A and B are shown apart, each in its own frame.
Chain A
Amino acid sequence: MGLLDTETGKRRLLAVEIPVIEKYNDGRDPDYRIRLNRVGGALVLAYALKPGHNVYQIETRLLSSYPTVPPETRVLTPLKHCPHLLEGQTLCLWRQGSTRQTSRWDPTKFTCVFAIQAVWRWLACYEVWHETGDWPLPEAK
Chain B
Amino acid sequence: MDFRPLSELERRQLVTALRGNADGNRVLLVDRKDTSFAGTAEDVPDEEVIHAIKSVPCHY
Q: How many residues of B contact A (CB 8 A)?
A: 28
Q: Which of B13-39 contact A (CB under 8 A)?
A: 14-15, 18-19, 21-22, 28, 30, 32-37
Closest chain A CB from B29 CB (angstroms): 11
Residue of A nearest to B17 (CB): A124
Q: Do A127 and B14 touch across chains, with their CB atoms under 8 A apart?
A: yes
B14 to chain A: which residues have CB within 8 Å? 51-52, 124, 127-128, 136
Task: Tell whether A18 is near chain B: CB-to-CB under 8 Å.
Answer: no
Q: Do A48 and B35 touch across chains, with their CB atoms under 8 A apart?
A: yes
With A128-B11, A140-B57 as known contacts, state yes or no: A32 contacts B34, CB within 8 Å: yes
> In the assembly, what is the distance between CA of A28 and CA of B35, in Å?
9
Interchain CB contact (< 8 A) of B6 among A94, A95, A127, A139 = A127
Write the residues of chain A forming the contact surface with B, with a CB cutoff of 8 angstroms.
20, 23-24, 27-29, 31-32, 48-54, 77-78, 83-84, 91-95, 103-105, 113-114, 117-118, 120-122, 124-125, 127-128, 130-132, 135-140
A51-B14, A137-B19 are known contacts; what are 18 more A-B pairs with Cβ within 8 Å? A27-B32, A32-B34, A32-B35, A50-B35, A50-B36, A52-B6, A53-B5, A54-B4, A78-B1, A84-B59, A84-B60, A94-B58, A104-B57, A127-B14, A128-B18, A130-B3, A131-B11, A135-B60
